[in-house]
Amino acid sequence: MRVTNNLIYDQSSRAIGQSNEKILKTQEKISAQTDIVKPSDNPVGASQILMYGDSTDRLKMFDESIKMAKSNLEYQEVALESLNGFMDRVRTLFIQAQNDINTQEDIDAIVQEISLINESMAELMNSRSADGSYIFAGTDTLSPAFIQDTEGRYLWNGNEGQKYAQISEDMRIPVTDSGKKLFQDIWTNQTFRTELLTGDVSLTAKVYSQGDFQEYMDEYYDPEVPSANEYQLVTSPLVEDGSVPDSTLTQSDSKEDRDRRRSFFGEPGNYSITNSQGDVVASGSYRAGKPINFNGMSFLLQGKPGASVDFALVPPRRDNVLNEINRTLDTLSNEDSTYQQREEAFFNATTSLNNAQQKIGEARSSVGARLNTLQVREEFSSANQLSNAVAQDRIGGLDMAEAATNLSMKEAALDASQKVFTRISNLSLFNKM
């Protein structure tokens, strides 16, 4: 084989180029800090690294959704907590207002403070998140959840939808709650109406046990057949001719003694309550001036037995708790309102506050549970991303010490090749040894 200068140059150049290529490849691995720079380095490992990378990218995308969900729910949690505190303060002020030692000036001062608190609560019900969305307006987050009409009543302006955040491949979580459920659809004080038909008596009727009355309403109120909610109370004398004494009298008592004792103890009598079908649903004996109680309802008839009273269950009503508070404030501000009217107003407002705070308590529990879920999901995502990173490093990780050693060796080899090429290029058959 003839060794020519071209062959020598070609082989030397190829060797130097290969050494340079190895050095550049090693430097590229060191720069990228991975042993797999391109798929051809390790096709199977490269596909696995891409798989773990895609998983991490999805987790990071869900992390952004989790951050947004946490922000919305934290805004809601703060608003609900503040509303609950305001309602506690309003309840305290209503209790103070019921003291008989208060003058009208004292009542007016309490009314003014509650009015300011009501305005603050209205503002909280129209709370906005960091991006300006109304958090209690349902899915219509660009419009306020509540507005006021010309009479100052608070009206629902949103919808009952919920916004959701996708926090994993298969899991969505609600990040808003409708203010209609929380503040607007609050059960007001349930009651009944009465009408004295016959009898020379005075009638006072009221709900004496809201719990018992609520249970009766839940079981027997018929929204489709109004007549099914109508009843009649009839009283009759226990002794019509004086020949049959009641338990407080004796046979030897004179008529004057009987009249005097009846005046003191109240005229004895019987009563019966019938429904719209004429069926007797309750009956017994009573004394005039003593209440007749029926499933949380109280009927006080002052006068002789022999009266008939129609009464009917009033349809349950829902309203914004702020409207119920304002109704009570109107009653308190009216100097001509009676003690009974004020007592009823206090009871109505307290009932709405109780029901509203129950809804708020349920909402706070729900928000807290969702925040806990997001926290767990966030921790799971972090652990998963760490696991993916470890797996990627295990497959394509680069031993920096080994890579640095290889780089030094390849640089030394390149340097040696260059020196050899220089020596060979200077050789000639005509050179003297």
DSSP letters for 320-351 = -HHHHHHHHHHHHH-TT--HHHHHHHHHHHHH
Supply the pLDDT for residue 53: 75
Task: Please tell me the pTM assigned to this model.
Answer: 0.70
Q: Which residue type does 128 have? A: R
- Give which of 201, 194, 197, 208 is closest to 293, Cα–Cα: 208
Query: Treating both helix axes as pointing N-terminal to C-terminal, what angle do 321-333 and 104-125 enclose, rounded to 10 degrees?
Result: 160
Q: Indicate the SS3 state at residue 102.
A: coil
Q: Is the pLDDT of residue 195 over 90?
A: yes
Could you give all domains of the chain from N- to C-terminal order, each with its CATH number? 57-187+323-382 (1.20.1330.10), 192-239+266-316 (2.60.40)
pLDDT digits (tens, 9 = 90+) for 146-182: 999 999 999 999 998 888 999 988 889 999 899 999 9
Q: Is the pLDDT of residue 112 over 50?
A: yes
pLDDT digits (tens, 9 = 90+) for 238-277: 754 444 444 444 555 555 555 555 544 568 899 999 999 9
Average confidence score pLDDT of the chain: 82
Q: Indicate the SS3 state at residue 150.
A: coil
Choice between 76 and 40, residue whose per-residue pLDDT is larger: 76
Supply the pLDDT for residue 415: 63
Phi, psi of 159 (to 5 degrees): -135, 175
DSSP for 92-103 reads: HHHHHHT-TT--
The H-or-E segment that residue 231 falls in is: strand 230-237
Choice between 151 and 14, residue whose per-residue pLDDT is larger: 151
